[in-house]
Structure 1
Amino acid sequence: MSNRENSKTISKVEGRELILERVFDAPRELVFKAFSEAEHLKRWWSTKGWSTPVCNVDFRPGGVWFYCMKCTDESQEDYGMEFWGKAVYQEIKEPERIVFIDSFSDAEGNIVEEMPSTKMTITFIEQDGKTKLISRSQFASAEELQSVLDMGVLQGVTQTWDKLANLLEELQNQ
């Protein structure tokens, strides 16, 4: 990335909510597109050593985003493992905000009830040609939030947003 100071993900926990912030060196409309179009999500929605081979997006309130993240790095102990997810969009205000309920699912799209679901609110704020992204993840309880933190969500989001930053830079240089 060209501007290191903007590559920092800031995180804080407030009760049962995880708040993440990062400034991306890209216009708000482009960052919003990266969150709303399957062709872009497939390229960045996974951590290091993982890919997103399945990414179906019905981007409208009530629509579903169904995806699979798969470990493609042979050196990782999780090699070949798949995680499926299903998000249901609740609110979309282009290019300012996306609200959805994100859940773990199986390959058929059935929600895994034993795993925590989260209400995610993604806010895109224009800042002099850059975009401040604020992600607020609200869990049913502080214990559910802690379980996700214990799973390594902060490292995962940082790696995923690094991939997003690289994609945004690539798209702007085309």
Structure 2
Amino acid sequence: MANKMTTKVDGNVLTVEREFNAPRSLVFQVYSDAEHLKQWWGPRGWEVTVCKIDFRPGGVWHYCMKCNDRNQGDFYGMESWGKGIYNHIVQNEKIEYTDYFSDAEGNVPEDMPASDITLIFEEHDGRTKLTNIARYVSAEALQAVLDMGMEQGFSETLDRLEEHLEKVKA
């Protein structure tokens, strides 16, 4: 794909930007609707098997990704649960939430880093620039998730988002 994401690390903040050939309202919609998220969220070889969203400030997004790619070795069959709590939403412009690792019941492990996420959706000539700003409690917490392969996984997730947007627009 020609339009890859750019990343910048500044202390405890990771900023990711990527442009999509889709209107802002559509990019916002596929980030805020469970049926859309199930189609693209997560790295390649993983599928979203559970996705519940209460899309409002104070609402919760709880999901499970499961590795269905036998070529990923020990990851095959593994589940990875996540939980987001929405803090602030401006329709078609911004989503702010706190992102956590979790278990199937939504419990948050104390030993895994959480982050405060700000998603900014900007439209220019029918294209949308998505800016994802993730703030961690410390530079070490950010480094821990980078060491887990989060950057590659998120790049693949955004590739899948682009592919999903093309299908939805067709």
Q: TM-score, normalised by structure 1?
A: 0.96
Q: How does 1:5-84 map to 2 (within 5 A)?
A: 7-77=3-73, 78-84=75-81
Q: How does 1:119-134 map to 2 (within 5 A)?
A: 119-134=116-131
Pairing 1:146–2:143 present: yes
2:114 — aligned with what?
Answer: 117
1:135 — aligned with what?
Answer: 132
1:77-111 superposed Cα distances (whole Å, 9 cap, x missing partner): 10000010110000000100000000000111101
CA distance in 2, matches of 1:104, 1:65: 12
CA distance in 2, matches of 1:150, 1:75: 21
1:23-46 superposed Cα distances (whole Å, 9 cap, x missing partner): 000000000001000000011111
CA distance in 2, matches of 1:83, 1:37: 20
Q: CA deviation at 1:75?
A: 1.6
One-letter code of the match for 1:42? K
Structure 2 unaligned blocks of 5 or more? none
Q: Deviating runs (4+, > 6 A) in structure 1?
A: none
Q: CA deviation at 1:76?
A: 1.1
Instruction: Work out the number of aligned pairs and report it.
Output: 169
1:159 — aligned with what?
Answer: 156
CA distance in 2, matches of 1:155, 1:112: 23
Alpha-carbon RMSD across the aligned residues, in angstroms, is 0.7
Pairing 1:95–2:88 present: no
1:106-159 superposed Cα distances (whole Å, 9 cap, x missing partner): 111101111000000000001110000000000000000001111111101110
CA distance in 1, matches of 2:103, 2:154: 21
CA distance in 1, matches of 2:105, 2:115: 20
